[in-house]
Structure 1
Amino acid sequence: MSRTQTVDVHAHVDVPAIDKLVDGQAGLDAERAAQLATFGVESTARNIELATTSYQPFLTTPAARLGRMDAGGIDVQAVSVVPTLYHYWADEALAADLVAAANGHILDLVALEPRRLVGLATVSLQHAALAVDQLRRAFTAGMRGVQISTSVAGRELSDRSLDPFWAAAEELGAFVFIHPWGCSLGPRLATSYLGNIVGNPTETTLALTHLVFGAVFDRFPRLRVCGAHGGGYFPHYLGRADHAYQVRPESRTMSRPPSEYLDRIWVDSLVYEADILTALVKVLGAEHVVLGSDYPFDMGVLDPLDRLDAAGLPPADRDAIAGGTAARLLDLATKG
């Protein structure tokens, strides 16, 4: 087996200080009501139970994190906040405090094990100018990327008001990890945990599609964007998008057919089954798939490397996915 450095780009951390900052805020009440409508009473209660009984040590205790990494053969984690902590409803003052708490916490965690952990920043994307400043500060402090959601306070990621953020991400060479929480389909998914099972990949699909059809990659051609959960359904039905580009004038909103933007898009390997991972590699190329576990949640996996190996890919492809590509995207060669 290859001795390549292994890198998990999809691993989360809790920031307890954020809960204190948002406690009692009207925006938090509205956010929780929306999440209850999407996930339903049973799944919401189960998530709360797991958060307090199963996840917490792995989200907050460095030794538990490193032990899980060792058990799974992971050399480096790219650490990002739990997606419930985005809070894009926050006003500018509160948003600044939330991001300062999140990024400070991640930087402190990374400082404990700088050879094994790398930080992905959080930004207040609902306030684009503030988000630019936060991203620049995060990179100055040593972070290598940023995690954002699939939409921002009712705006798609292609909204022109977000162009300053995309310009800064392009300039900095940031690894932009897109990770949803919840789904705009709302109550239609409020049973059987469909809010996650269907909702998460649906939201990622919509986000990547809006970036393409919204011509974000035309305006910022050097962006490096990664979709969580295998990019959702986006990679698997590009023929339909390409067909629309050819036959529907209103779909020709960018300079190239949709499939030709895959050179700017990466996805993680969290698709559970070897044949689906093989299909991803066929569409995107191994150099555009990176390892992801969704640490430490139950919809994630403890054995991302074993699942990668089960795909039986050529050694060079396997090594690229296991860590080679992520090391380049996160500039780990300069980390030490």
Structure 2
Amino acid sequence: MTAHAHPHAKAAVPTVDVHAHVLIPEIEALVEGAPGLAEARTLDARRNGPTALAVSGPMVRDRLPRLTDPAVRLAAMDAQGVDIQLVSPSPSHYHYWADEETAEKVYRTANEATAAHCSAAPDRLRGLGLVPLQHPDRTVEALDHALAQGLAGVEISSHAPGRELSDPAYEPLWSRAGETGAVVFLHPFGCTLDERLDRWYLSNTVGQPAENAVALSHLIFSGVLDRHPGLKVLAAHGGGYLPTHVGRSDHAWSTRSDAGASCARPPSSYLRRLYFDSLVHDPHILRELVRVAGGDRVLLGSDFPFDMGTEDPVGALRAARLPAADFEAVRGGNAAALLRKD
């Protein structure tokens, strides 16, 4: 039974999936032949390994209609009982290798195409744009451009070449995101452990949660979250390894002067300042995430429509056997509050 078939669907808070992607062919067309693309593809191939690339190609092709056609997306959402999706560009569109001129074309195309995709069903689709992390001084204008398209915020990776999210160059971005109420969706793409993860798809299964943990640790330990209390960071993949191992961070913070030098409180306390999607593939880990971050900080996420996501996000949430209030909050209440238009 879909959410729409439910007799009380109108009165209930809608079911909201905050982790869903759109593929934008125009972006790949505009970067084709650009200096740096071949090198970036070579690095990507080295990090993932040949077997992973051989599996991923057909997987993405099989999902192209769901990634590009709003009607196909909406039908799939109906089948899943999902009322609203927060749609972000495929992370393959980051192109953080690009020069300034190309990077501007990428973010403008991403923002406009995502907004156009969502405009097919504005009551059911909200969107996120992109900012060029490799050009920190262009990130605020890119965020403003995304918001001007009616998007809810932007999606970023865990780092840019040579820059961590703790880099002072990003302070204007965090300030602007905080004052506008923009959502910053932290979704890693590419792990710097490189060919250590080039077999068995470790580049994703180990790489993504590791990158999440590193990026969130940079935001916490550097004091970014102290300086920008209004910042709304939503971490994909349940925040990766950090929420379940944050005790180690707290221990370092309280024991070592270098670890505790730049943030005001124990690292675990900042989990209640962040938002996390529910995509952890284990009901016990999801329960733990809700325990450490709070029932008001976890939001339903599926990674629609990729194979590392879940076909049944509500079922995966139900399997965690949360208290009813937490279940309803994660299913849609928290997203409704986070995405509320002023």
Runs of 4+ displaced beyond 6 Å: none
Deviation at 1:129, TM superposition (A): 2.7
Give the structure 1 partner of residue 176 of structure 2: 168
Give the structure 2 partner of residue 206 of structure 1: 214
Pick aligned residue for 1:86 from 89, 94, 103: 94
Deviation at 1:153, TM superposition (A): 1.8
Q: Which has the higher helix share?
A: 1
Give the structure 2 partner of residue 100 of structure 1: 108
Query: TM (normalized to structure 2)?
Result: 0.94
Q: Given the alignment of the two structures, is residue 21 of structure 1 paired with residue 21 of structure 2, yes or no?
A: no
Deviation at 1:4, TM superposition (A): 2.4
Deviation at 1:151, TM superposition (A): 0.2
Paired residues of 1:278 and 1:311 also in contact (CA < 8 A): yes
Pick aligned residue for 1:226 from 228, 234, 238: 234
Q: How many Å separate the matches in 2 of 1:315 and 1:41?
A: 45
Q: How many Å separate the matches in 2 of 1:268 and 1:69?
A: 17
Pick aligned residue for 1:142 from 150, 153, 158: 150
Give the structure 2 partner of residue 247 of structure 1: 255
Deviation at 1:282, TM superposition (A): 1.1
Paired residues of 1:145 and 1:330 also in contact (CA < 8 A): no
Q: How many Å separate the matches in 2 of 1:172 and 1:206?
A: 26
* Deviation per residue, 1:223-253 (Å, 9 max, x gap): 1111111100110111111111111111112
Q: How many Å separate the matches in 2 of 1:136 and 1:250?
A: 36
Give the structure 2 partner of residue 112 of structure 1: 120
Deviation at 1:312, TM superposition (A): 1.6
Q: How many Å separate the matches in 2 of 1:14 and 1:47?
A: 14
RMSD of aligned residue pairs (Cα, Å): 1.3
Q: How many Å separate the matches in 2 of 1:126 and 1:168?
A: 17
Q: Given the alignment of the two structures, is residue 180 of structure 1 paired with residue 163 of structure 2, yes or no?
A: no
Unmatched tracts of structure 2, length 5 or more: 1-5
Give the structure 1 partner of residue 279 of structure 2: 270
Paired residues of 1:291 and 1:322 also in contact (CA < 8 A): yes
Deviation at 1:271, TM superposition (A): 0.9
Q: Given the alignment of the two structures, is residue 131 of structure 1 paired with residue 132 of structure 2, yes or no?
A: no
Paired residues of 1:227 and 1:266 also in contact (CA < 8 A): yes
Paired residues of 1:121 and 1:145 also in contact (CA < 8 A): yes
* Deviation per residue, 1:165-191 (Å, 9 max, x gap): 111111111111100112010010000
Paired residues of 2:137 and 2:169 also in contact (CA < 8 A): no
Q: How many Å separate the matches in 2 of 1:201 and 1:269?
A: 13
Paired residues of 2:111 and 2:145 also in contact (CA < 8 A): no
Sequence identity percentage: 47
Which amino acid is 1:308 matched to? L
Q: How many Å separate the matches in 2 of 1:145 and 1:29?
A: 30
Give the structure 1 partner of residue 3 of structure 2: none
Alignment coverage as a number of residue pairs: 332
Which amino acid is 1:262 matched to? L
- More displaced, 211-220 or 79-88? 211-220
Query: TM (normalized to structure 1)?
Result: 0.96
Give the structure 1 partner of residue 270 of structure 2: 261
- More displaced, 318-327 or 19-28? 19-28
Q: Given the alignment of the two structures, is residue 298 of structure 1 paired with residue 307 of structure 2, yes or no?
A: yes
Paired residues of 1:144 and 1:331 also in contact (CA < 8 A): no
